[in-house]
Chain A
Amino acid sequence: MAVSRTKTPISEQPPHERIKNFKEVCLGYTLEEGRAEASRCLQCKDAPCVPGCPVAIDIPGFILAIRDGDMPGAVKIMSRYTNLPAVCGRVCPQETQCEGVCRLGRAKNVEPVAIGKLERLVADWNYAQPTALAAEIPPVKAGRVAVIGSGPAGLTVAGDLAKLGYEVTMYEALHAPGGVLIYGIPEFRLPKFIVAKEIEAITGLGVKFEPNVVTGLTVTMQEIMRDFDACFIGVGAGAPNFQGIPGTALSGVYSASEYLTRINLMHAYEFPSYDTPVKRSRSVVVIGGGNVAMDAARSAKRLGADEVAIVYRRSLTEMPARIEEYHHAVEEGITFHWQTNPTEYTDDGSGKLRGVNCIRTELGEPDSSGRRRPVPIPGSEFFIEADTAIEAIGQGANRVLLSAFPELELNKRGYIEADPKTGATSVPGVFAGGDIVTGAATVILAMGAGKDAAAAIDEFVKSKKNK
């Protein structure tokens, strides 16, 4: 049987409908579509997709199970490697990981296997069962571990250690678990009930979740080190940068973190049924070219904005957002101003935003990041009328925990200095991973760091207990 050159099509909400709601854009494969897609997999020996995955999932294994119609088998295989399959199937940059190295996709004019969409199918199938299959946990107690932060890194550590028999307490500063999965990534890309299901599966392993604990303030690191055998710090990057151009204080200027937190964590899109408001804007300018910029722009559209424009200082080629997100944004009518920098937010006279002064740029010599540095073109100034502007230009390290724990060594950029293989920090028994070590990165990289740290913590506690 000839293998189809293209991925099995997947249904999506059409753009004109989805811009009026916050429901998920991609509707997922049916079992039949999934089996068709699974049969495209070449089942390579030493498959390149496995090392292409930061948590090294046995991809051909679970795809074979799907092809054979053995969904419980697929779940079982996947749960050995990941605690967040429904999340990863949706938000991983598969095009640069597993699917990027897929042998099928290396052939001319042939698309790789839709590994992400198949992963998601397995997870969604499992959560739709009356009783989702749970991982088994050993009855012995191996030790006590604190996990600080309940985002992708923390959840991975918590899940992995619980499966090894540890008593895990997960501390979260906000009122709900999930970190960026809850406050950052919008409902239309990652439904909150999916995140809730995955977290339920992790707390179902006996992980104790404690919300409203700002480590460093509500509990100290000294208390944690006294009460636990080891701890993992996965607090994320999460201190928004502002460009600091004139007018940043105007009403209507947001950081993407604030805009998305209001919408996602606080349900501002359901105001006044929920109490937290967000501006319902007519015309929105989003500054930045990452996934967060796409999320903010697409959220603004769904809140009813007529015009949403993304202003990015480089060009499409350099844009860090996933190409799928970019395509979705274009379909939804978001416009792009490439090689453009905002220079000032102007005041409407009452302290509210009237618009954004911009200037075109051209690409000059590569900067320290290796990307070509944008240089302003004199005389190319122009004005975009806007009642809301959202800066999505990245984050720095959040200082709350770090300043309360000066023993912890930091790197030059202000993030935690940690062994890239184990997450071990300068303080014995304290491990770290995710954005607070690497700076803002992806969900799956944070999970990969969590997986490595969990193994290292297990080793650390065992050797400590054997002394």
Chain B
Amino acid sequence: MFKVLSAERIAPKEYDLWVEAPRIARHARPGQFVVIRPDERGERIPLTIADFDAERGTIRIIFQAVGKTTTRMASFKKGDAIQDISGPLGRPSEIGKLGTVMMVGGGVGIAALFPIIRALSQAGSKVITVLGGRTSDLVIMKDECGRFSDELIITTDDGSEGVKGLVTDAMKTVAGRGGKIDQCWAIGPTIMMKFCAMTASELGLPIWVSMNPIMLDGTGMCGCCRLTVSGAIKFGCVDGPEFDGSLVNWDEFMSRLRQYKDEEKISMERYQEEVGDLSWL
């Protein structure tokens, strides 16, 4: 069991937990993830590690309540226990003094991006960060990302903060200024990552994306998370989660994400009947 040390709602339907997990905290590196099973009858879902503190023995998980499992997790309070957390899983990001990097985040993907931004900055890279969302309140962790960024650009669909437009518009603006960009990262909703990858290809920039497929064990045992990268079958859990965005078969990946849409709906409806009002989310 893993004790929840703090639980906070940081945006509509978005939650921020610090959890006691000393071994994971000691070994976690930016880009890695955990698999969580919230309770005895729960399913196993992958979530990226938003932060970790080896000294305190804690990890931070930020997620959006979209289905039953994440909605159930949104109800966790300080002092509650999470049944199972396994990690840190996957290959860590390639951190180093990479020159200038463009870091693009959207939705709760920003949480996964944050430790990479921090590590790249601490390793001496120049960091230009682009965070986007539909509206201002959906752009999370602005201050934290800003602290480790040489430049922070916010984009919102409705113009409620920063530049009105999409993160891909900002990518083009940054690239259009002429300075050399050595590497991009994009982490966010799949559709955002797909368009970021296309934009990066247009701009001739290399880009890492962090894939979030359906998983079971998260250790390469089942192949449920497979995706096609450059024509070959790869496992999201052990070969990733980061891949070269220009080589991912995005349409196939998105189709695989929808495999259990019907079952997810059944689960969610059942859960709603059980707990009633969910307007607090």
Contact = CB atoms under 8 A, between A and B. Distances in A.
Interface in A147-180: 173-175
A258 B258 contact: no
A211 interface: yes
Contacts of B69: 275
A103 interface: no
Contacts of B263: 271-272, 277
A414 to B, nearest CB: 13
B27 interface: yes
A30 interface: no
A351 B27 contact: no
A36 interface: no
Interface stretch (B12-20, B145-153, B214-222): B214-222
Interface stretch (A130-138, A242-250, A445-453): A242-250
B211 interface: no
Interface string B252-268: 10011011100110110
Contact of A249 (B227, B258, B260, B266): B227
A212 B87 CA distance: 8
Interface residues of B, number: 42
Given A175-B83, A240-B223, A351-B255, A249 B228 contact: yes
B238 A258 contact: no
Interface stretch (A75-83, A214-222, A357-365, A370-378): A214-222
B217 A261 contact: yes
A63 B150 CA distance: 77
A184 to B, nearest CB: 10
Nearest to B262: A277
A239 B89 CA distance: 15
Interface string A36-56: 000000000000000000000
Interface string B71-112: 000000000000111111100000000000000000000000
A244 B84 CA distance: 33
A261 B222 contact: yes
A173 B219 contact: yes
Interface in B209-257: 216-217, 219-224, 226-228, 233, 238, 249, 252, 255-256
Contact of B259 (A173, A239, A240, A251): A251
Contact of B223 (A257, A273, A274, A276): A257
B60 interface: no
A281 to B, nearest CB: 13
B118 interface: no
Contacts of A218: 23-24, 27, 86-88
Given A239-B220, A261-B221, A275-B42, A248 B86 contact: no
Contact of B87 (A217, A252, A265, A276): A217
Given A258-B216, A266-B44, A277-B260, A217 B224 contact: no
A399 interface: yes
A282 interface: no
Interface string A250-271: 1110110110011001110001
Interface residues of A, number: 42
Contacts of B217: 173-174, 261
Chain A interface, >50% SS class: loop
A240 B221 contact: yes
Interface string A204-218: 000000011110011
B216 A272 contact: no
A246 to B, nearest CB: 11
Given A249-B256, A277-B260, A277-B263, A255 B223 contact: yes
Contacts of A242: 223, 226, 233
Contacts of B249: 249
A214 B221 contact: no
A275 B39 CA distance: 10
A240 B68 contact: no
A249 B223 CA distance: 10
Nearest to B91: A403
A251 B251 CA distance: 13
B43 interface: yes
Contacts of A214: 86-87, 89, 219
A213 B83 CA distance: 14
B177 interface: no
A351 B44 contact: no
A254 B226 CA distance: 10
A398 interface: yes
Contacts of B87: 214, 217-218
A398 to B, nearest CB: 5
A272 B23 contact: no
B263 to A, nearest CB: 4
A261 B84 contact: no
Contacts of B88: 217-218
A421 B159 CA distance: 70
Interface in A321-372: 351
B126 interface: no
A248 to B, nearest CB: 7
What 7 A-B pairs come out closest when comparing CB atoms?
A: A277-B263, A351-B255, A258-B222, A275-B43, A175-B84, A255-B223, A276-B43
7 contacts: A175-B37, A218-B86, A261-B216, A267-B41, A274-B41, A276-B43, A277-B263
Interface of B: 23-24, 27, 37, 41-44, 68-69, 83-89, 216-217, 219-224, 226-228, 233, 238, 249, 252, 255-256, 258-260, 263-264, 266-267, 270
Interface of A: 173-175, 183, 211-214, 217-220, 238-240, 242, 244, 248-252, 254-255, 257-258, 261-262, 265-267, 271-277, 351, 398-400
